[in-house]
């Protein structure tokens, strides 16, 4: 039995009042699997190695709760993603809180099934480490190694922490080593804060990664960043990973390791919107940490940015992106 | 197709980690209707006349979110309600935020369908006004007029507020006038605080209601209150309504109109547990107001008390209550 | 008995310590009516149709409490509004929480008395719906239909919600239909977020309204927006309505329906300051919702913006605005 | 012009909605002076020597704001204080934040005028130090030295802190030295926590003060404490001072120096109610520190306890207390 | 070089203002090792398996911060622990956040050094799992197997979670299996809440453990519980472990897995005080989870209870306990 | 015994987990005095005259606690301050909470010892008043009068408040009168908000101070401000004082007297970074008020800005600043 776009139109207020019953990511309909979908929304509540402030395990739950404020179309661009393709929330990838290795494995398998179903995954973490098992599922040949559009305060290219090779700070060192991502098509956006030493930065640059510090972003402007991304990515497959600590801590306190002076919400929106036309194969937003912002203001922002990318992904699916992309 | 107890065993951690996916009331399974159920858990997010602090519309949502901490059995009494009968969360009664009269009507109809399906409703509000349409569904002859076990700081027997006849303060004046509840089998527990004048108290006593102020409760002890309730109720049908402001404001701040110096959690647990053996036809907990306690500590307490009553109701369903009730 | 400017000089610290006794809007003196005033500060704690997060009923109370930080002059422009004209806080318009229609009526009457007294009203809500009864009082012929400077995330031009014709989302559809406001002299500033569909936007544009999305504001800059407003408004009467959700949710979380990525505080200040020279007939700020920001940081911002407009209105009253306005 | 009881009936909801306009202590009417009053409600926002957590300067403001929940009668005892005598809020005693000595002096003078007007003062602080200048006004011969009913976690009988003789910890050493209070008629209730050394306790006992630790209170019960108080006080003048840290920190976190394991709200209510029949000459509640509990739950409790004592004081004024007091 | 009691007198306000410089557990002096101490205060910020709400890693930090309110003596009992023996804060046991096994091992070694130095450890967690490595250090023959006084909502006798044998829920199954603790001298206090099934309770009882549910505690009273503990423990070595979720969630929300309706602060104080006379060999308080109570009210309670036990342990060290213990 | 750079390398995670043991300013090593240091980090928890919201006494404690997130190098500029010179946290200057004059004196003496040791002080308050005693120590001839780079919302040039000559609002009137600071080399950055009257502004300008309002800052840009500062300061001694209310209240709510619409974090970072090349003799950050932002987000920002200046000061010490400063 096939699913149609009409089957998946989100139920909107006033048809059902916003505060009634449980919610879903982007207020999409809930499906058990990715079968028949174009875009699968997924939560990945993994939370092992966030040493500053744990709690990203509740990221998907809080994002779903704060989706109550969402409507189905983009008020500025006019894009109606749920009219363009088949989108649903397929729940959370299975995770354990005691079995790290098992969790990494089960996330990879879960996303493998999404890929097999022909859907694009749009995930919400959970700690940034989730990008590694997702990439293992998404960036297998011939698709991978993929290009990476990487919003973050930190490069996440440390070799290891205390001998541990897989954690929030090592993801893109591993992904390069495993041939999942192409360092020459890797653009970091928003890098800043403090560091132990410059080795992870030196390594990244030596691999050919483009490291845009927050100073670079301010210098280039959102449009300049968008141009740079398109130049680097070309038309080969691209994966987007948005560590929400890329945003300034003052506008996004709800994260494990906040850093003052980062990306503004507006710049983030404009850069995400500018990804239109890229060959997107999946994306994740991560490091939403509810205990660090019980007001939910950060979840509101996370949802808002995720909706920007959902619009772009929906246009990608419909193939209307390339024609109209205005860089 | 019939539903069995085994179909409805709650999924428990570690099978699924607590923070994964959306939640339900009491972590029960989710069903679309009450068909085949013995006990139907329902949210009623109505929120019109809570003039102090609005927000009880989010009561069911917060209670579901905080059910993540729940397990399936009672650690002190050993009761396993989900082993005794068929229990599920059937979602929220339909409410509007702009149409008061329509909301009252649709709640009544929703509970009418639960009654028709032969299930006992256990509801969570939402403002206390919800008891009126629920009683209209539950307390129709020959079942009604029913007895009322009524936990509250306030008698809710005001005649009208500013001409308005249906609101949080008038519920049990209306229910008596409509023949839904029997004032001679109405026990209020925890009355206190400040009043405009004594008329609503005088009216209640004149009707034959038993008004246990918090002083009376302390004097009688939880056991004395339980004895009193059983004496008044006999074996005819009883409905339980728990306005959570019956609890002391210091342990339950998350409500519209908190009053210091009320019921303790322990006394509330013991009185609820003591309802075993009554002929229960339904129940509601109400006035959980999340914006008044964003920490969720109040939701934790609401869930805990609701579970106490769920155990009693499950025993009622299995008919084991009467035999063993220890008054 | 006439009131003079000297009678109404705000009592300032250290004469009276900031935390002593109750407060008023802008720390102005308290008067019972608008008689003899040039500008009447008013609270309008109406809160019926704010379906997301109720609580704007406490907006005026929180704004008064947070006025403790205010002093009487503008540190950048040097304007001393209380030296320019007679300003006082005349308390709150009478509202009910149970009688919607009566509340709409009594707000209109209350503002009618302000207009009759010859004072300009500067109001603080309360839900955005208050603009409709205020306009009914203020924009009667020959003054109306008035031009509208409208800060907001949402156009508020929906035809109805679930059949309900008067609520937060329909205000400016009604005001045009009733001939109170001139759609050709209506400038929206800060529009963004998500929408159900484009109909309300299409309708607004079809009427001739100027819809400046947040993208437009960023493109034009605050000065460009100010120029546009003056071009559209000319020298005919203008009413200013500032839905505080026009501000970015990260800097103004204390509102019913916050939207990320909106107006900055600085741009809002500069645009308000740029209204100097317009023929102002009244203004409201609305949707300050204290339970959504118990820290009061949002109230601080609301007061700050209201003071910017108070300076402009005081200059308008003194007639010094036209001469010096620097567009 | 005389003031009558009818002039001072509090305006109650629904006549005026609770959230409208500014509030007063106990929702009483606002008067400028104590002339013609029987009981004068006063705020004393002094905040100099609260070394742990400053902020009690906002105590009166928060208590007024949280009086929105109050009604005019006692729901359990049926006492209607505003029907018994003339009660009004006369605002705050003048305080400075930079001039300690001047503040102590101006509080004394302010309360002197209340005494001269023949009214009983019922004050809300502010730091506990306020009791000293109030006693200087209230306990002058022939009234003084007065007996003291003293709720507190700490004895406040330290000789000096770092040479400073007047501060929160020395009040009752000074009051005895100045002949304002009679140590033999001084009952402390709720003493506990940690101490630097036993000297202040030894001194208190040596003077003949009755020190009821929290262990003693639990041993004697509220009724035993009431009996003890009446035995000690007899029918000579009594002043009541309630340092709100006498309450357990878990139910009253909103104070400068909270101590776990203190008085319950219920016991406090019952002991206050039991003061009926004493020859009361004034009272203060103190150490409500809003920044330590921005939820206002503590202010709610402070108002509740203050209302208990207001009922007793109103009965004292009417002379009905002695006849009916049930010890 | 020996350390004396005088060397370790805590620096107290006013000598140094409370808010100056960093703090220590109980405001004790800071030492690098346990050499020369009688009682070693230790933080154990381990936080791996707290699946509900992580964050107990910050328990010791918050407890130190909130020690600013502490003074050196007990105001009710008069005990001055720092006058009785040599007490210091020796910092935190080394933990990792990524290496579970290494952390367990390093905690055991750290406490081994305390035992070797002849000091009694008084630890603050961190998750409850810390008790296992501490017991491995403390309860080696000939001292062990030791008796356990165990405050908790949960028995922590589950066999495994998802195959994982060492975590917060299995501690006392492991400790019995390893011969560290004697199940016949194990008293649980405060058991309640919900359970998956009764197996862990059955196992505990089958081993001879004394399971006092919260109902039992209320029935017996604090004195009855104390008598029971002394009867079970006799004069052989005893270890005290206080899982702070044993307290009612309403008075101690700052924990991983709060349960409503638990121990009161008063009962906890009285039972701890009643441990006087036992042959104490060490103790831990655990599951203080700061992100779950950023107000710090829970840390205040944890410190208060820890001080009660410190007094008892100091008396134990001085050998004055046995003579005077009043059961 | 000399101290070397290697002795003072901060202990960093993962060597020691971030949440272990107490913290220091900038995670530097702790020393008892400034002997042998190049830069001395100091807390100054003075809190007397902050009349709006007291609590800056906890500023140093909160900043130390939130230093847990810091690493040792600057991720954008690559500066490693702890590799350039000898830096340590030498604790808090001694303050009293009851003795204002004594506190002013002891701060001056404490900083005198730092100056005598040849170290540059980098202080964190505490109220802004601390700048006066620090300047008395630092700006004695021949060093002073010094130039002042002064970030602030307020000019702090009021003559007196209620007769009191030394408080948060008068610091730079006193410093000029005492010949400590040169008004012609005084640049204020971020001035805005409300004022009592223009006298303090007029006085400042008459003395030759450069007053950059927030409008001026926006007009000039961060680079323009940096150029202006260098032009005004030349190569004579400069002291930096950063009142954190210079930042916009929306990004820095944790302060005594927040003002909306101020400096952004980015501009503040860029201006501080642009101070490279100045002849710095000391600096303070002040008015971090923890009770006004218990989330600690403001402390995070304060630490971030303080680290920017630490980098510049470390370069100053090494003499590499002048050569490379890029204006």
How far does E272 lie from chain D, in Å, by closest CA?
13
D76 touches chain B (CB under 8 A): yes
pLDDT band at D14 (very low <50, low <70, confident <90, very high): low
How far does C263 lie from chain F, in Å, by closest CA?
12
Helix axes C100-116 and C131-138, enclosed angle (nearest 10): 40
Q: How deeply is E248 buried, as exposed, middle or buried, from its count of CB atoms within 10 A (0-12, 13-18, 19+)?
A: buried
D17 touches chain C (CB under 8 A): yes
The answer to whether D82 and D42 are in contact (CB under 8 A) is: no
Position C324 scores a pLDDT of: 44
| pLDDT tens, position by position, D116-159 | 999 999 999 999 999 999 999 999 888 889 999 999 999 999 99
Q: How deeply is F54 buried, as exposed, middle or buried, from its count of CB atoms within 10 A (0-12, 13-18, 19+)?
A: buried
Size of interface A-F (CB pairs under 8 A): 76
Q: Do chains E and B touch (3 or more CB pairs under 8 A)?
A: yes
The answer to whether A8 and A59 are in contact (CB under 8 A) is: no
CA A287 – CA E142 distance, rounded (Å): 49
Low-confidence residues of chain F, pLDDT below 70? 1, 12-16, 18, 320-327
Instruction: Tell if the CB–CB gap between E261 and B304 is shorter than 8 Å.
Output: yes
What is the CA C231 to chain-centroid distance, rounded? 21
Instruction: Tell if the CB–CB gap between E258 and B69 is shorter than 8 Å.
Output: yes
CA D126 – CA D45 distance, rounded (Å): 4
Q: Do chains C and F touch (3 or more CB pairs under 8 A)?
A: yes
Give the one of B192, B196, B218 whose C-beta lies nearest to D12's C-beta.
Answer: B196
How far does C299 lie from chain A, in Å, by closest CA?
16
Closest chain D CA to residue B200: D75
CA B127 – CA B286 distance, rounded (Å): 6
How far does B15 lie from chain E, in Å, by closest CA?
8
Q: In b/e form, how buried is each residue of B53-62, taking b as 16+ CB within 10 angstroms?
A: bbbbbbbbbb
Helix H or strand E encompassing F195: strand F194-195
Res. D55: pLDDT tops 70:
yes
CA B42 – CA B282 distance, rounded (Å): 11
How far does C161 lie from chain A, in Å, by closest CA?
7
Give the one of C17, C69, C76 whose C-beta lies nearest to F214's C-beta.
Answer: C76
How far does D130 lie from chain F, in Å, by closest CA?
16
List CB contacts (< 8 A) between A51 and chain E: 97-98
List CB contacts (< 8 A) between A24 and chain B: 22
D32 touches chain C (CB under 8 A): no
Low-confidence residues of chain E, pLDDT below 50? 321-327
Q: Do chains F and B touch (3 or more CB pairs under 8 A)?
A: no
| pLDDT tens, position by position, A146-163 | 999 999 999 999 999 888
Mean local confidence (pLDDT), D246-275:
97
Closest CA to F250 of C254, A175, C56, A212: C254
Give the one of D196, D251, D253 whose C-beta lies nearest to E71's C-beta.
Answer: D196
What is the CA A301 to chain-centroid distance, rounded? 13
List CB contacts (< 8 A) between D97 and chain F: 49, 51
Closest chain B CA to residue D9: B196
Instruction: Tell if the CB–CB gap between C163 and B49 is shorter than 8 Å.
Output: no
What percent of chain D shows pLDDT beyond 90?
84
Domain spans, chain E: 6-145+241-318
How far does B20 lie from chain A, in Å, by closest CA?
6
Closest chain C CA to residue A9: C196
List CB contacts (< 8 A) between D60 and chain C: 21
A215 touches chain F (CB under 8 A): yes
- Within chain B, where are the H helices? 59-66, 81-84, 100-116, 131-138, 171-177, 199-207, 214-233, 265-273, 297-318, 321-324
Q: What 3-state class would DSSP assign to F87?
A: strand
Low-confidence residues of chain B, pLDDT below 50? 321-327
B55 touches chain C (CB under 8 A): yes
F295 touches chain E (CB under 8 A): yes
| pLDDT tens, position by position, F151-209 | 999 999 999 998 899 999 999 999 999 999 999 999 999 999 999 999 999 999 999 99
Cβ count within 10 A of residue E302: 28
List CB contacts (< 8 A) between C291 and chain B: 53, 55, 291-292
The answer to whether F34 and F113 are in contact (CB under 8 A) is: yes
Size of interface B-E (CB pairs under 8 A): 76
Mean local confidence (pLDDT), A91-115:
94
D259 touches chain E (CB under 8 A): yes
Closest chain D CA to residue B264: D266
Question: Following CA atoms B287, B288, B292, B294 in sequence, which dihedral angle do they give, to the nearest 10 degrees?
Answer: -170
Q: What is the 3-state secondary structure (H, E, C) of chain A?
A: CCCCCHHHCCCCCCCCCCCCCCCCHHHCEECCCCCCCCEEEEEECCCCCCCCCCCHHHHHHHHHHHHHHCCCEECCCCCCHHHHCCEEEEEECCCCCCCHHHHHHHHHHHHHHHHHCCCEEEEEECCHHHHHHHHHHHCCCCCCCEEEEEECCCCCCCCCECCECCCCCCHHHHHHHCCCEEEEEEEEEEECCEECCCHHHHHHHHHCCEEEEHHHHHHHHHHHHHHHHHHHHCCCEEEEEEEHHHECCCCCCCCCCCCCCCECHHHHHHHHHCCCCCEEEEEEEECCCHHHCCCCHHHHHHHHHHHHHHHHHHHHHHCCHHHHCCC
DSSP E234: T
How far does E159 lie from chain A, in Å, by closest CA?
15
C18, C21, C63, C93: best to mutate for the D interface, most D CBs within 10 A: C21
Instruction: Tell if the CB–CB gap between A69 and C249 is shorter than 8 Å.
Output: no
Instruction: Tell if the CB–CB gap between F191 and C72 is shorter than 8 Å.
Output: no
Closest chain A CA to residue F18: A52
pTM of the model: 0.96
Instruction: Tell if the CB–CB gap between F71 and A248 is shorter than 8 Å.
Output: no
CA D92 – CA D25 distance, rounded (Å): 10
| pLDDT tens, position by position, A285-309 | 999 999 999 999 999 999 999 999 9
Spatial neighbors of D276 by CB under 8 A, at least 6 apart, are: D312, D315, D316, D321, D324, D325, D326
DSSP D256: S
How far does E49 lie from chain A, in Å, by closest CA?
6
Position B167 scores a pLDDT of: 95
CA D46 – CA F118 distance, rounded (Å): 43
CA A128 – CA A171 distance, rounded (Å): 8
Spatial neighbors of C89 by CB under 8 A, at least 6 apart, are: C24, C25, C26, C28, C29, C30, C31, C41, C42, C64
| pLDDT tens, position by position, A170-200 | 999 999 999 999 999 999 999 999 999 999 9
The answer to whether D154 and D245 are in contact (CB under 8 A) is: yes
CA B288 – CA B254 distance, rounded (Å): 6
Res. D33: pLDDT tops 80:
yes
**More confident site: A2 or F114:** F114
CATH class of the region F6-145+241-318: alpha beta
E49 touches chain A (CB under 8 A): yes
ipTM for this prediction: 0.94
What is the dihedral sign for C-alpha F76, F79, F82, F83? positive
List CB contacts (< 8 A) between B92 and chain A: 20-21
List CB contacts (< 8 A) between A292 and chain E: 291
Q: How deeply is F194 buried, as exposed, middle or buried, from its count of CB atoms within 10 A (0-12, 13-18, 19+)?
A: buried
Instruction: Tell if the CB–CB gap between A55 and E51 is shorter than 8 Å.
Output: no
Mean pLDDT of residues grouped by 10 in chain C (327 residues)? 83 67 88 96 93 90 92 96 96 90 96 97 97 96 92 97 92 97 98 95 98 98 98 97 98 97 98 97 98 95 98 92 44
How far does B289 lie from chain C, in Å, by closest CA?
11
Give the one of D250, D257, D293 whose C-beta lies nearest to E69's C-beta.
Answer: D257
Res. D323: pLDDT tops 60:
no
Give the one of E97, E167, E291 whose C-beta lies nearest to A55's C-beta.
Answer: E291
Rg of chain B over all Cα atoms, to the nearest angstrom: 18
Edge-to-edge strands, sheet with D87-92 = D29-30, D87-92, D39-44, D120-125, D279-286, D237-243, D146-151, D181-191, D210-213
Phi/psi for B16 (5° steps) reads -130, 130
Q: Mean of the per-residue pLDDT values for chain A?
A: 93
CA C292 – CA B291 distance, rounded (Å): 8
DSSP of C76-142:
TT---HHHHS-EEEEEEPP--SS-HHHHHHHHHHHHHHHHHTTPEEEEEESSGGGHHHHHHHHS-TT
């Amino acid at each position: 039995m096939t699913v149609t776009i009409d089957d998946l139109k989100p139920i909107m207020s006033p048809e059902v009042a916003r505060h009634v019953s449980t919610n879903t990511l982007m207020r999409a309909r809930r499906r058990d699997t990715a079968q028949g979908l174009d875009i699968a929304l997924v939560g990945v509540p993994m939370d092992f190695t966030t040493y500053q402030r744990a709690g990203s395990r509740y990221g998907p739950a809080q994002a779903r709760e704060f989706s109550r404020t969402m409507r189905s179309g983009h008020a500025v661009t006019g894009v109606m993603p749920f009219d363009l393709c088949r989108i649903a929330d397929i729940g959370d990838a299975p995770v354990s809180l005691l079995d790290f290795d098992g969790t990494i494995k089960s996330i990879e398998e879960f996303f493998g099934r999404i890929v097999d179903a022909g859907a694009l995954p749009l995930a919400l973490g959970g700690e940034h480490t989730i990008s590694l098992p997702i990439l293992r599922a998404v960036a297998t040949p011939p698709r991978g190694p993929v290009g990476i559009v990487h919003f973050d305060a930190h490069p996440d290219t440390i070799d290891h922490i205390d001998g541990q090779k897989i954690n929030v700070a090592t993801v893109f060192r591993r992904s390069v080593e495993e041939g999942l991502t192409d360092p020459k098509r890797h653009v970091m956006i928003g890098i800043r804060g403090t560091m132990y030493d410059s080795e992870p930065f030196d390594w990244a640059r030596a691999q050919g990664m483009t490291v845009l510090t927050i100073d670079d972003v301010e210098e280039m402007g959102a449009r300049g960043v968008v141009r740079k991304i398109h130049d680097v990515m070309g038309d080969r497959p691209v994966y987007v990973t948005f560590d929400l600590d890329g945003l300034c801590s003052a506008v996004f306190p709800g994260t494990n390791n906040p850093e003052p002076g980062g990306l503004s919400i507006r710049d983030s929106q404009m850069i995400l919107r500018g990804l239109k036309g890229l060959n997107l194969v999946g994306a994740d937003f991560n490091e939403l940490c509810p205990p660090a912002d019980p007001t939910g203001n950060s979840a509101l922002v996370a949802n808002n940015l995720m909706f920007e990318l959902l619009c772009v992904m929906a246009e990608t699916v419909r193939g209307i992106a390339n024609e109209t992309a205005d860089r």
